[in-house]
Amino acid sequence: MGVQQIDAKMLSKMFLAGAKNLESKKEWINELNVFPVPDGDTGTNMTMTIMSAAKEVMALGDDPSMEAVCKAISGGSLRGARGNSGVILSQIFRGFTKRLKSEQNLTVPVMAEAFEKAVETAYKAVMKPKEGTILTVARGIAEKGRELVDEGVEDMETYLSAVIEHAKYVLSQTPEMLPVLKQAGVVDSGGQGLVEVITGFYDAYLGKEVSLDFEASSGRTAGEKPSRGGQAEAEIRFGYCTEFIIMLNKPFNVKNEMDFKGYLESIGDSIVCVADDDVVKVHVHTNDPGLAIQKALKYGALSNIKIDNMRLEHQEKLFKAAEKEKAAAAEAPEPVSGPPKDFGFIAVSAGEGMSEIFKSLGVDYIIEGGQTMNPSTADILDAVDKVNAKTVFLLPNNKNIILAANQASELTTEKDLLVIPTKTIPQGITAVINFVPELSADENEQTMLQEIGMVRTGEVTYAVRDTVIEDREIRKDDYMGLGDKGLLAVGQSLEQVAEETLGNMMHEDAELISIYYGADVAQEDAEAFGARIAEKYSGCDIELQYGGQPIYYYVMSVE
């Protein structure tokens, strides 16, 4: 049995173990994103966030005070927060530590109150909280903790075990709260990340030894660029990502499901096993895929078998990330001195063509990033410092960066940072085009907000797994067109999907169609596509430009 109170030293160990457990599962969590795009990044963002705090906790030494540990957790996660999931996680930590920092030893009632404060803080940080997400899982933890305290539970091990089991239950119910999760056959990725964090907490409390190797992990100091990478090769305990579907001979009963999951746990980890009527979707990381397949064959026939060597994939990702970081570092501008100008612009951009477009429009500083590389709050603050202006307009150009941008705005004190909530690159371009230097900051802000609301955006990429979204079946490697509010097109022809995507964006008042082709599209192919679009929509102006963006073959907008 563990100790009944948690001191600062134990809290530090628990937090570091939570960080490590999340880090080890981040690629699996990335795969839980609803849309099967190749740049799902919830696990990466949450890991980068918590690792920023973990480094500060480790720097405290062997005998820290409770206040120091809480400050390191709160401050480190706040500055390192990336993406919506990372920002929400940082707010959970912020509220949690706010209640703990004045205590010397943490009891069950104090822990329960801390989780309640964590939930309150996190919900306040989100303008329109949605149930079936990490927020729901966090609230489930707090509610179960309050229930245990009211029942008179004082044993810490009993408390932690019970809240974790309840968190897992709430997580399992997230597909019932968000139909899009149920259609895709996944639980909420952010909620899964939070469960991994508190599971790590509990492991450390029980005395399990956890080693944190920051050189091999994806944790980086605040301000460094993130990359989509997995664990270091030595840390990948199970090397083969194995997925398949079982077409059942007869429906799974509870015993069948528990037996099969138990077997998978004995040969691997990162297990997802979702039973739905006569099929079971299976995902497991293992060193012997054959064992998982042989066991599954006892329940029915198999289809959609996919086995990937994660160690080989990891090495390729590391090489690409290193090359990208070298290029970004070489192009980073130096801070500008002298009297500040009235207005400046920062834009988040992915792709050399996109970045050049922003620079040509007068943007002062480009933060390299986007869906695959969400900048942290610290990255944004660093960029603000480099723009010599009294008022700085920030264009996130991605819905997953807006929360971190708003958080940076709250932390900026020496100049005004105005976040224009652009969710796409075309919205960002429209915003800066409509800037008028003679108008005030407020007038420009209102104009830009109005104009970006007129922009419809579509992006064409490919699917990394089979799924069903909005009753449309998607196969791995299909091309997909994604719009502002969801799926617009699916198919096996890039040009056909791009054209259908654009067609679903058009409206009777459309005047301008902008097409930005990515790094994986040949110029002649893009020009041929642009010519067909110009012929089809002869009443609109057509602009075709090289964006150079990764992952997305075409980014298109209609205004």
Q: Let me know if residue 491 belongs to a domain.
A: yes
As a whole number of angstroms, the distance between CA 186 and CA 282 comes to: 11
Q: Let me know if residue 221 belongs to a domain.
A: no
Q: Let me know if residue 228 belongs to a domain.
A: no
Same domain assignment for residues 303 and 332:
no
Q: Let me know if residue 526 belongs to a domain.
A: yes
Same domain assignment for residues 476 and 538:
yes
Q: Residue 409 sits in a domain of what CATH number?
A: 3.40.50.510
Per the structure, the count of domains in the chain is: 4
Which are the contacts of 522, defined by CB distance < 8 A and separation ≥ 6?
Answer: none
Q: Token pair for residue 40?
A: 């799902």
Same domain assignment for residues 70 and 31:
yes
Q: Which domain covers residue 255, as residue numbers?
A: 237-309
As a whole number of angstroms, the distance between CA 32 and CA 184 comes to: 9
Same domain assignment for residues 250 and 299:
yes
The residue type of 352 is: E
| Arithmetic mean of pLDDT, 289-299 | 90
- Is the pTM for the entire model greater than 0.85? no
As a whole number of angstroms, the distance between CA 190 and CA 46 comes to: 8
Q: Quick one: pLDDT at residue 317?
A: 55
User: Which residue, 309, 330, 364, sits at the end of a domain?
Assistant: 309
Same domain assignment for residues 460 and 442:
no
User: Which residue, 277, 309, 341, sits at the end of a domain?
Assistant: 309
Same domain assignment for residues 126 and 55:
yes
CB-based contact 558:513 (threshold 8 Å): yes
Structure confidence by residue, pLDDT tens digits, 157-203: 999 999 999 999 999 999 999 888 888 888 999 999 999 999 999 99
Q: Residue 482 sits in a domain of what CATH number?
A: 3.30.1180.10
Q: Residue 35 sits in a domain of what CATH number?
A: 1.25.40.340
Query: Which of 498, 501, 476 shows the shortest CA–CA distance to 486?
Result: 501
Strand bridging mode 341-349 / 365-368: parallel
Chain-centre distance for alpha carbon 472:
24
| pLDDT bracket for residue 320 (50, 70, 90) | low
Q: Let me know if residue 2 belongs to a domain.
A: no
Q: Looking at the predicted structure, is the pLDDT value of residue 433 above 80?
A: yes
For 105, other C-beta atoms within 10 Å of its C-beta total: 14
| pLDDT bracket for residue 30 (50, 70, 90) | confident
Query: How would you classify residue 351: left for phi > 0, otherwise alpha for psi between -120 and 50, otherwise beta?
Result: left
As a whole number of angstroms, the distance between CA 276 and CA 501 comes to: 31
Structure confidence by residue, pLDDT tens digits, 346-391: 999 988 999 999 999 999 999 987 655 788 898 999 999 999 999 9
Q: Let me know if residue 387 belongs to a domain.
A: yes
Q: Let me know if residue 147 belongs to a domain.
A: yes
Same domain assignment for residues 92 and 182:
yes
DSSP secondary structure code for residue 235 in this structure: G
User: Which residue, 452, 477, 495, sits at the end of a domain?
Assistant: 452
CB-based contact 12:61 (threshold 8 Å): no
Strand bridging mode 341-349 / 389-395: parallel
As a whole number of angstroms, the distance between CA 395 and CA 362 comes to: 13
Identify which has the larger pLDDT, 495 or 184: 495
Same domain assignment for residues 407 and 514:
no
As a whole number of angstroms, the distance between CA 166 and CA 85 comes to: 21
Q: Which residues are paired to 487 by β-bridges?
A: 482
Helix (H, G, I), strand (E, B) or coil at 159: helix
Query: Which of 247, 250, 156 shows the shortest CA–CA distance to 205?
Result: 156
Same domain assignment for residues 352 and 427:
yes
CB-based contact 5:156 (threshold 8 Å): yes
Residue 249 CA: distances (Å) to CA of 26, 239, 257, 276, 522: 34, 30, 14, 13, 48
Same domain assignment for residues 478 and 408:
no
Same domain assignment for residues 382 and 424:
yes
Residues of the chain above pLDDT 70, percent: 88
As a whole number of angstroms, the distance between CA 267 and CA 279 comes to: 22
Q: Let me know if residue 531 belongs to a domain.
A: yes
Q: Residue 286 sits in a domain of what CATH number?
A: 3.30.70.100
User: Helical H runs in 59-133?
Assistant: 66-80, 83-100, 108-125
Strand bridging mode 389-395 / 279-286: unpaired
Same domain assignment for residues 167 and 66:
yes
